[in-house]
Structures are given as C-alpha cells and as structure tokens.
Structure 1
Amino acid sequence: MSIREAVRPVLREARATVLPDPADRHGPLPPVMLALTVVTGLVDAFSYLTLGHVFVANMTGNVVFSGFALAGAPGFSLVAALAALAAFGAGALLGGRIAHRARAHRGRVLHRALVPETVLVLAGYAVARFAGPLDTAGSRYSLIALLGLALGVQNATARALAVPDLTTTVLTLTITGMAADSRAAGGPGGRSGRRALSVLAMFSGALAGAFAVLHGQPALPLLLAGLLLAVCTLDAFTLTRSDAGWTDPV
C-alpha cells in the first residue's frame, strides 16, 4: 500500500469528524467534542503551570501526583491533588444528574451541561484575573474548585454522549487504538483520522495555554476556554430543537 492510499482514509475520517454527515448516528456532536478537547488542553495548561503540579481535568495525573507527594517528592501537594479530585468528582456528579434528567435528547444533555461549565470557567477567569496573586492559598484552591467542578461536568457529559474516540480528556486509549487497530497491527484501521484530531485538539489547547502562561498572560487560557465554551453553548442551544436520530440516547 502506498503512502497516499494509507493517508486517504485518515483524511476522509478527519473530514467527516469536522464536517459530519447530518445522518450520522452522532450528528453534529463530533466537532463540539473536539472543541471541548481544546478546552481541556487550555485549562490543564493553566492549572499545571500556575497552580502547582495539579490537573483539573486529567485525574490520572492527580492520583499519581498524590503518590509523589506522599513519597516526599518536591513540588507536589497532596492537599491540592485531593482537592482537585474532590472537585472533579462533585462536578461529575452534577454532570451525571444533568445527563440522566435530559437523557432522552442528547442535544439537551449537551446544552444543559455546557451552561454551568461555561459559567464556572469564566468565574475561574475572573478569580485568576482580578482576585490577587495566584500563588496565595485562597486563589489557588478557589480555582482548583471552580475548574475541577467544570471539567467534572464536561467529562460526565462526554461519557453520557458516548461519541467514539472523543472523550475530551483521556488520550491514552485513543493513542492505543490508533496503534493497536492500525492495519500495520493487523486491525481494520478505522477512526484513525478522528483519533488523530482528538490528540491534535488536546495538543493545540495545551500549546496555546502554555504559551499564554509563560509569556505573561497567565489568566488568558481561561478566557479563551470560556469564550470557546460560550460558542459551544450557543451552538448546543440550536441542537436542542432537533428531532433527528442522533438525538436519541446511545
């Protein structure tokens, strides 16, 4: 198989993810989930680089960081990691309640979850921008709480919507799937384009967030994330009116 023949289905899959067929089982959801993956990269870049070694979206990291902190590794806070885990869990609980109440219509699940997530992230931006130094305990833990809640809601929503390979946070299985399901491994080679886009979306958000933090605008990633969420929320509102097949629960 030539390189062109190998790349063509990947590009086709990527295009179908960004510009999905309205008749597809997941309808217009894939590009929204990609946007939320960018949000994850932005927010985690902010949290890791400005709040100490703590994530507010990727909880695997916080479990590992808790072990590091208990072992006495410098630069890691057990309290911060546990605070992020608790906030994320509370957000996931809220997101789960939203999903179960609106489960008959996936567009309504998405919209009702995006509203509180957007408010929480923009509140986080306000704290980061106006509440004082980020290295004070008050600002640090307020931000961990607000952002952990927001990303917990997002992850519970992504789980409820169940768009394949677009979890908005966890990339380990996505990257595993790219390799293990590839034709080189003897697999069908499907969804490589979507998986690659998911990785690229996370990378792009993290790159933009880190660039802003390291070059003098530490609160900017949260503003960008909040604005992106606001656009997604408005888009999701239009989806609540749809009665197409993709709105049915998976």
Structure 2
Amino acid sequence: MSIMDAVRPVVRDARATVLPDPADRHGPLPPALLALTVVTGLVDSFSYLVLGRVFVANMTGNIVFSGFAIAGAAGFSLAASLAALAAFAAGALLGGRIAHRCRAHRGRVLHLALVLETVLILAAYAVARFHAPLQAAGARYPLIALLGLAMGIQNATARALAVPDLTTTVLTMTVTGIAADSRAAGGHGGRTGRRALSVLAMFAGALVGAFAVRYGDPALPLLLATVLLVGCTLHAFGLTRSDASWTAPL
C-alpha cells in the first residue's frame, strides 16, 4: 500500500467530520463538538497556567494532583483539586438533567447546554478580567467553580450526544484508538481522521491559550472561549428547528 492510499481515507474521514453529510446519523453535531474541544484546550490552559496546577476539564489530572498534594508535593493544592472535582460533578449533574429533559431532540440538548456554558464562561471571564490577583482565594475558587460547572455541563452533554471519538474533554481513549485500530496494529484504521482532528483541536486550544496567557492578558483564553461558544450557541439554535433523523435520541 502506498502512502497516498493510506492517507486518503484519513483525509476523507477528517473532511466528513468538519463537513458532515446531512444524512449522517450524527448530522451537524461533529463540527460543533470539535469546536468545544478547542474550548477545552483554552479553558484548561487558563486554569493550569493562571490558577496554578489545577484542571477544570481534565478530572483525571485533579485526582492525580490530589494524591500529590496529600503526599506533600510542592505546588499542588488539595483544596483546589477537590473544588474542581466538586464543581465538575455538579455541572455534570446539571448537564445530565438537561440531556434527560430534552432527550427527544439532540439539537435542543446541545443548544440549552451551550447557553448555560456560555453564561458560565462569560462570568468567569468577568471575574478574571476585573479581579486580581487571580491566585488569591477570592478569585481562584469562584473561577474554579464557574469553569468546573461549565466543563461538567459540556462533558455530560457530549456523553449524551454520543458522537464517536468526540468526547470534547478526554483524549486518552482517542489516542489509544488511533494506535490500536491502525492498520499497523492489524485494525481497519477507521475514524483516524476524526480522532486526529480531536487531538489537534485540543492541542490548538491549549497552544493558543498558553500564548495568550504568556504574551497577552491572563484572562484572554476565557474571552476567546466565550467568543467561540457564542458562535456555537447561535449555530445550535438553528439546529433546534431541524426535524432530520439525526435529532432523534440514540
């Protein structure tokens, strides 16, 4: 098999993720979830780099950080990690209630969740923009709470929509799938393009967020995330009017 033969299906899969077939079972959901993956990179770059070694989307990291903090490792806060875990769980609970209440129409699930997430990220931006220092408890913990709630809602929504390989917050299984399902491993190589796009989306969000924090304003990643979320919310509002087959629950 030539290199072009191997690359062609990957490119085709990536194109189908960004520009999906309206008749596909997941309709226009993949590009929306891809955009939310960028949001995750932006938000976690802010939380880790500005708030100090705490994630608001990656709960695996906070569980590990909690162990580090209990062991007395320098630079880790048990209180901050537990606060992020609690806020994320509360957001996931709220996201789950939205998903169950609106489950008859997947577009409405996405739209309502995006409205709440946008409001929470915007509120976090306001706190970050007008309160300093951001690592002081009076700003740090409200920010962790707002962002953790937002990311919990997002994660629960992505789980409810169940678009393969687009969880928006966790990439461990995505990276595993790229390697384990590859032709080199004896697999069929399916959805490699989509998985690669998901990894690149989070990488891009984290990269842009890190540059924004380092060379711009510490709150800039949250502003960029808000702008992206506003665009997604407006797009999702149009999806609530669709009666296509993709809107039906799985």
**What is aligned with 1:5?**
5
For structure 2, the residue ranges without an aligned partner over 5 or more in a row are: none
SS at match of 2:160: helix
Q: Which runs of 5 or more structure 1 residues have no equivalent in the other structure?
A: none
Residue correspondence of structure 1 range 70-89 to structure 2 within 5 A: 70-89=70-89
**1:133 CA drift (Å):** 1.5
The whole-number CA distance in structure 1 between the counterparts of 2:138 and 2:10 is 47
Kindly state the Cα deviation for residue 113 of structure 1 after the two structures are TM-superposed: 0.4
Shift of 1:160: 0.2
Between the aligned partners of 2:52 and 2:19, the Cα distance in structure 1 is 38
Equivalent residue, structure 2, for 1:239: 239
How far the C-alpha of 1:217 sits from its partner, in A, is 1.1
Structure 2 equivalent of residue 184 of structure 1:
184
Tell me the CA shift for residue 4 of structure 1. 0.6
Question: What residue in structure 1 maps to residue 167 of structure 2?
Answer: 167
Following TM superposition, by how much is the alpha carbon of 1:191 offset from its aligned partner in structure 2, in angstroms?
A: 0.1
Letter in structure 2 aligned against 1:234? L
How many pairs are equivalent?
Answer: 250
Distance 1:89 1:65 in 2: 17
Q: Give the match for residue 99 of structure 2.
A: 99
Where in structure 1 do 4 or more consecutive aligned residues deviate above 6 Å?
Answer: none
Equivalent residue for 2:90?
A: 90
- TM-superposed CA distance for 1:134, in Å, is 0.5
- Partner of residue 33, structure 1: 33
Instruction: Answer yes or no: is 1:136 the counterpart of 2:118.
Output: no
Offset at residue 216 of structure 1 (A): 3.4
Superposition map of 1:195-206 within 5 A: 195-206=195-206
Q: Deviations over 1:96-151 (max 9, x none)?
A: 00000000000000001000100000000000001221021110001000000000
Kindly provide the CA deviation profile for residues 9-65 of structure 1, in whole angstroms up to 9, marking residues without a partner as x.
Answer: 000000000000000000000000000000000000000000010000000000000
Identity %: 81
For 1:249 and 1:19, the matched residues in 2 are separated by 21
1:149 corresponds to? 149
Task: Say whether 1:224 aligns with 2:219.
Answer: no
User: What code does the residue aligned with 2:3 have?
Assistant: I
Deviation of 1:185 after TM superposition, in Å, equals 0.5
Residue 54 (structure 2) aligns with? 54
For residue 28 of structure 2, what is the amino acid of its counterpart?
A: P
Question: How far apart are the structure 2 equivalents of 1:146 and 1:16?
Answer: 34
- State how far apart, in whole Å, the 1-side matches of 2:136 and 2:171 are: 32
